[in-house]
Structure 1
């Protein structure tokens, strides 16, 4: 029944895009747009609940803020510049399991300031934020239609509705349409490029939760369980993370030829955590963070090793990267001390997925992520619903054929979504295209040393990808280098402060170039190591192949192949 429902929706939405009826009224009138009220788009009936004029200020132009609903319950907001529209449309993805209050994020605000018409959705549902989970709340997932909307439909029908509303408001359709998202928004971005190649001219997918069923049903569950003692308290605490991180950096920072406080590519690091085991007779409780107990070391090895079945096979193409340790706080290691229970972002995401999203029939009410078995049978149980959520098709030929361009990016120190999975997916895209040069004609991946999940971390994490995407789509100028910057005063992530800030908070203290994978930046050997001009692109022979041997390798095969 679910597959029939999805096919029906696909057909309806396809007709929606082919022939959207457009209300006629004076362009640019917020009030008239509100009075139009309803767009009878086949397969995506859209109503406008309210509009309001937002005056210009230092950060944004005067614009019409539009609230509305696409059936059955896809809430959305659009921001339409009244006199400063640049003719472009940007749709922005949502994070976690979505469902939160419609508030423009940084990507939406920045695009609006540049004159873009902007839209974003709640992913097709309203989240209750049960138990303080916020975007990790998946209670709504017991409704099959809402799963489909979250999986892929919400962003597709938003594209159709937004273009109809833009046409009504301005009297013309957008000249170019773009999509930008990170985390779950990155997954949504890839769904658009893979399933609906004509929706957008250019797509930016950051730290994508693309391999979602294994990510949330195996990897997040593994991490949450790894650091949980029998009574629910954390085994590894915040006190050990700086100590562990220093040890990793001491061994691996200079592997790339430059000691600069970050790791260019953690795959070149071969750290052995066993050297941190407390010596016999030591009392780590007297001096937390001076060594690791056997139990703590076991946790660390599980996190670095990744989720595995009874035969040792990886259940997800990734694991915690060397250099990501400070970022574990909040994700894998709870804030505060060692009191039970060990509630983290990871445990919330894991529990929500297995209880409400993972299976066509939800488990009994008392089932939790603690009941999950890490085996091949369990992995296969995640496959059917994974067809709704996963964005793993590497064959982007239809997207490329109509001129579409894709920019992928991820942080090498991401503690939430391992960077290795993103690299493995891009490797599959290159394999499907025939080679890296062939793939780079329409898709480029930029890996960011030291960056955590979407932003933050111990290295440069601030960069503009929308301008390079515009130049690629509209002028044929493929991005050969992106400049990333780091400012003093930003948190190193996970609540740890930046010791380099001093009185220079907000000042740019480092710039670095990001090159298309498999290239990486290497110091030329002279000049300021904090200046991007003193680096050049190189390819390290042993760090080209992004393939990972894991149980779901077939998910990277194009449908029908």
Structure 2
């Protein structure tokens, strides 16, 4: 039977008040959406004063503002107000920061700053899908989005902007704060209120930028997504210099494409099944690491001699180059935050260095070195030495003694503070209630996943496992390289972050759908570190439900 009851007058008052709040909120959202559409064009030519930007500038100017209709050709974002402009640098000789802000008509009350890649140099429009979430854009989901070019034009990999000190500061961290403050001012103008939540998301350089905003501007962001973060920027560039020196300053040190491919194929043959599945993915990296001595032995040419033209074994000099890449950088002096190492790569645990971001295809050193001929790591390291460190375009990076850099030592340390995110102090971000989701491929050939793991362990040493679990999730993905690989995950990181920040639902095991062309559509668990996905031994090998996250 149902029990009858009657409302008290206080209950009626409470319900009426609640309904009024709901109605007011609905009216407010509809009014804000209508206002941003109706008055979008009015923003053109407006300025944002320097006084409300948290770092020194000469203010911002809106160059254009117009409504992009939902039915506009090629638009997948619904109706929105698109705003472009620039933030004036302090010096006339410094490039301005160009930015874009997008205000959707159907706003969800949240803002998302999107990070760049490489040396940036092109405006992050905020209209594209996030990496690893190709089916929708944050703008279409109702996020006000924004990004910038980080304060210079051109992403050639030559880093010529670094001859300007203010431009280096903007690239390192300044553009993040400046763009964020201008964007929030425009959001306030457009909707009449500030965002309820503000997030940051990026990968590689954008991943470094994610850690940077946590460390430098912790109260500005409620949540951060940082994929393959280049947090130890100086470390990875010096790693490239060491690899170049091993490849080109020592006779026979260059590892050719045939040998690069043989290393990968040998590792897969030896380690693929260590997770219970023959699927081309080295998932149990730690078990594979124990097989490293026998893998190297099987790769080495007889008596360590140089290989003939008809085989792909590796000489002693070539093995030394790969072991340099595996061992990383160890300096006899500290850089920023007392960091004196850069952990090496999983060379003998499933990284394929024969791709476009690998070790290159030529034993002949070009001047300047190129990605295709001399390898991504060395070409970037060489540019770093010439433009950032020595500012001498004729300098030969093969001659730089990293153990004794002489007059360049202080410069290396200064740069590591300016462009890098190795500050282990997350206390303000923790106090703010911020959340961080970080992801990295265990087969990354550009940014060492072992640096991300080392930083994570440093946070645990500093704050304890329970505290770190309260604000951070780390996902290490087997088979995933730097945007490519034998497994490339598609998953909803932004949804997971918003659920955690807004509803307190912390992400655990997630599901990734493979978007690698050869294996498109297969699924795997995306496991919290240190776990990896292990096949249960039965069921469809392409279905995540037949795997479990287990400790290595």
**Category of TM-score, reference length = shorter chain:** 0.7 to 0.9
Matched, 1:224 2:244: yes
Could you tell me how far 1:328 is from its partner in structure 2? 4.4
1:364-443 counterparts in 2 under 5 A? Answer: 364-375=392-403, 380-381=409-410, 382-434=412-464, 436-443=465-472
Flag the 1:210–1:85 CA change in 2: closer, same or farther, 3 A.
same
- The match for 1:30 is 40
**Contact 2:328-2:345 within 8 A present in 1 as well:** yes
Note the alpha carbon deviations across 1:184-227, whole angstroms, 9 max, x for none.
111111111111111111001111111112221x2121223333
Report runs of 4+ in structure 1 exceeding 6 Å deviation.
280-283
Q: Secondary structure at the match of 2:218?
A: coil
Which residue of the partner structure matches residue 192 of structure 1? 213
Quote the Cα distance in structure 1 between the aligned partners of 2:125 and 2:245: 33
In the other structure, the counterpart of 1:206 is: 227
1:318-338 Cα deviation digits (max 9, x unpaired): 234434442443334225x55
Q: Is the aligned partner of 1:106 residue 2:133?
A: no
Shift of 1:408: 0.9
Deviations 1:221-269 (A, max 9, x none): 12233333669x9822222222211111122222334333112242332
After TM superposition, give the deviation of residue 374 of structure 1 in Å: 2.8
CA contact (8 A) 2:275 2:533 kept: no
Q: Distance in 2 between matches of 1:483 and 1:376?
A: 47
* Separation of aligned partners in 1, 2:459 and 2:151: 29
Q: 1:168 is paired with a residue of what secondary structure?
A: helix
Q: How far is 1:366 from its partner?
A: 2.0
CA–CA separation in structure 1 for the residues paired with 2:424 and 2:512: 27
Instruction: Give the conservation status (yes or no) of the 8 Å contact 1:224–1:332.
Output: no
Secondary structure at 1:174 match in 2: coil
- Native 8 Å contact 1:125 1:146 kept in 2: yes
List alignment gaps of at least 5 residues for structure 2. Answer: 1-33, 90-95, 334-338, 367-372
Q: Secondary structure at the match of 1:440?
A: helix
Match of 1:116 in 2: 143
* Distance apart, 1:96 and its partner CA: 1.4
Q: Distance in 2 between matches of 1:473 and 1:420?
A: 27
Pairwise CA distance, 1:385: 2.2
Note if contact 1:412-1:448 (Cα within 8 Å) is conserved in structure 2. Answer: yes
From 433, 437, 446, give the equivalent of 2:475.
446
Aligned counterpart, 1:528:
540
Q: Is the 8 A contact 2:207 2:228 kept in 1?
A: yes
Q: Secondary structure at the match of 2:282?
A: coil
Q: Deviations over 1:264-308 (max 9, x none)?
A: 24233232323222336999544353x223433332232223235
- 1-structure distance, mates of 2:357, 2:473: 28
- Contact 1:185–1:208 (CA under 8 A) maintained in structure 2: yes
* Residue in structure 2 matched with residue 13 of structure 1 by the alignment: none
Report the Cα offset of residue 451 of structure 1: 0.4
Distance change in 2, residues 1:27/1:283 (3 Å): closer
Is 1:78–2:95 an aligned residue pair? no
CA displacement at 1:158 relative to structure 2: 1.2
Listed one character per residue, the Cα deviations across residues 3-46 of structure 1 (whole Å, up to 9, x for unaligned) are: xxxxxxxxxxxxxxxxxxxxxx9543221111424445444411
Q: Deviations over 1:342-396 (max 9, x none)?
A: 43322332122222223xxx44442132221131657954222211122112232
Q: Which residue of 2 aligns with 1:53?
A: 67
Q: Which structure is larger by alpha-carbon Rg, 1 or 2?
A: 2
Q: Tell me the secondary structure at the aligned position of residue 379 of structure 2.
A: helix
Counterpart CA distance in 2 for 1:412 and 1:283 is 30
2:29 aligns with none
Match 1:469 to one of 485, 497, 508: 497
Q: Indicate the residue corresponding to 1:503 in structure 2.
A: none
TM-score by length of 2: 0.81
* 1:137 pairs with 2:158: yes
Structure 2 counterpart of 1:300 = 322
The corresponding residue for 1:68 is 85
Provide closer, same or farther for how the CA distance between residues 438 and 522 of structure 1 changes in structure 2, counting only shifts above 3 A. Answer: farther
Asked if the contact 2:101–2:125 (Cα under 8 Å) also holds between the matched residues in 1, the reply is no
Task: Report the TM-score when normalising by structure 1.
Answer: 0.79
- Structure 1, residues 494-530: CA drift from partner, whole Å, max 9, x if none? xxxx4x6xxxxxx41x211122222332233332222
* Distance (Å, rounded) in 2 between the aligned partners of 1:111 and 1:486: 21
Residue number among 243, 263, 271 corresponding to 1:252 in the alignment: 271
Decide whether aligned partners of structure 1 residues 125 and 281 sit closer, same or farther in structure 2, where only a CA change above 3 A counts: closer
Q: Secondary structure of 2:425's match? A: coil
